[in-house]
Amino acid sequence: MSIYKILAFFLVISFVSLCFVNFNLFVLAQTETTFDNTASTEAVTSINDAILKSFVIISQVAVLGIVFNYFFFSRFLSKKRGSSNNILNESKEQSIYYYSRTLKKVSSIVVLCCISIIIFSTCIILLQSYQLSQNLDLDLYSAFDILYTTSVGEVWLLRIVTSLVIIAMMIISYFVSKIGGKTNQGNNDDSNKITSNKTHNFRNNKLNQMFILIVMVLASINLFSNSMVSHSNSLSSLSTFAVPMDWIHFMAVSVWIGGLFYLSIILLKNLKPVDYNDAKSNSINPVSDISNNIMSVHSISISLMNFSFIVIIALCVIGISGLYLGYIHLQDFNSVFNTSYGQILILKLALAFPLIFIGRYNQLKIYKYTSLVANLVKNLSNNTTYEGISNQYRENRIELFRRLNRSLKIESLLGITVLIVASFLSVTSPPSLEAINQVSTTIQDKGVNDSGSAFFFYLVISLVVIISAFGIVNFKKNQQQIKKIFAITGGSG
């Protein structure tokens, strides 16, 4: 099953990025400055800092999530188009049109997000320099020079460098794909160049995949910059494990919420009536036109169902890593309700749960629509009349687009809101840091805290088991649904 190969790629990217994480932690451990205590977390914890940081986090999530999901869907759809010769295939020209249009949108969005990361990361360090200059009665340049020698400066430089390289990679990837498309269009009538064109396309595809993989690794490293200055890095006894866990949590959030951005902004547009066919209406047979569109939408529908596997795994990783981070930072169940950190965390969860329920609703709608399109594909192979298939296809396609478009927009807005709340959470001091700074504690209070901590520990373990069971059940249920779809079309998809 192709989903396992995609997840294997994700694990490879995670391993490469994690090697960078461990190396960076080792370097930081060997380097001591007079600002170590303040540099382990964000130097300035203010509303302005949180607002600026929210733009950075949203952009980082969009870059990794969109690129990862573009890689997943492009590989999945290309394999499906290549394995559906027994029914109908999209024309070569139309396939090139789809890929070039998609890559152009992906490249544009990623470049804009990277520019946003550069601008707002610079604003953050300038804001921190200004406030530090006010506190220490220094000029702005001296305050900036001080921050630049700490992890705050390292994070700023890391974000700038990785963003610039990502921009370069995406631009190169787009132009390589564009050149390949022009080569195909220019040589369609020359039968002697078919073999060389296939070789050229193969090389271009491999080159583009290499660029996309490099972008994913760089985006993962860019995302790790948040963990470098997170609350987890302030826990001297747990930071070695807590920082990678914080980074993995962000990675899973990016794949999930960034995936929603990709679906709503890019992939869902392919469910609309294809403007390519309108532009080429004089040269395309209407029967083959509707047939190719049905096959295209069928492949997209199947890929959306396979995307559910990634969402389920991402949600399990988010839940388990989030519970671990919540436990080490809150330390006590009462802290969930009695501290600002816990209250903001409750708000974050209150916004995240509707995302899960709406996603489940969309999954059911997609399965229903995919079943209908699968039956249309089956009718195409049985040479059923064109008029009946065309009317049924168009009506259901419009209905699905309206519903998915509305719900995905709501999901995307909720996802952005969750990321904004997370940015405020990152600049709010958790009970774990307050405990480190606390000078003394009475024996009675210690006993109460130990009791609350024990209850909190068992609650976290119970929730981890529930989340794992939830993931396994839904994973198997999704597998069964996809098998039913394949059974309708005779194993083609």
Mean pLDDT computed over 427-432:
81
pLDDT tens digit sequence for 368-413: 777 777 777 676 666 555 555 556 666 666 666 777 788 888 888 9
- What is the pTM assigned to this prediction? 0.79
Can you tell me the distance from the alpha carbon of 291 to that of 361, in angstroms, rounded to the nearest whole number? 28
Can you tell me the distance from the alpha carbon of 275 to that of 286, in angstroms, rounded to the nearest whole number? 14
In this predicted model, which residue has the larger pLDDT, 205 or 428?
428
Q: Above 60 in pLDDT, residue 329?
A: yes
Q: Which of 20-34, 214-228, 430-444, 454-468 has the lowest mean pLDDT?
A: 20-34
Whether the CA torsion 80, 82, 86, 88 is positive or negative: it is positive
pLDDT tens digit sequence for 289-303: 556 666 666 677 777
Which residue's entry shows tokens 């024309």? 91
Q: Which residues contact 157 (CB under 8 A, 6 or more apart)?
A: none
Mean pLDDT computed over 264-280:
59
* Helix boundaries (H) for 137-193: 140-148, 151-186
pLDDT of residue 177: 76
In this predicted model, which residue has the larger pLDDT, 486 or 220?
220
Q: Above 60 in pLDDT, residue 60?
A: yes
Burial (CB count <10 Å: 0-12, 13-18, 19+), residue 29:
exposed
- Cα 141 from chain centroid (whole Å): 37
CA distances from 232 to 33, 52, 333 (A): 19, 21, 19
Can you tell me the distance from the alpha carbon of 61 to that of 256, in angstroms, rounded to the nearest whole number? 9
Mean pLDDT computed over 87-95:
46
Can you tell me the distance from the alpha carbon of 332 to that of 184, in angstroms, rounded to the nearest whole number? 63
Q: Which of 27-41, 58-72, 397-411 has the lowest mean pLDDT?
A: 27-41
Q: Above 70 in pLDDT, residue 8?
A: no
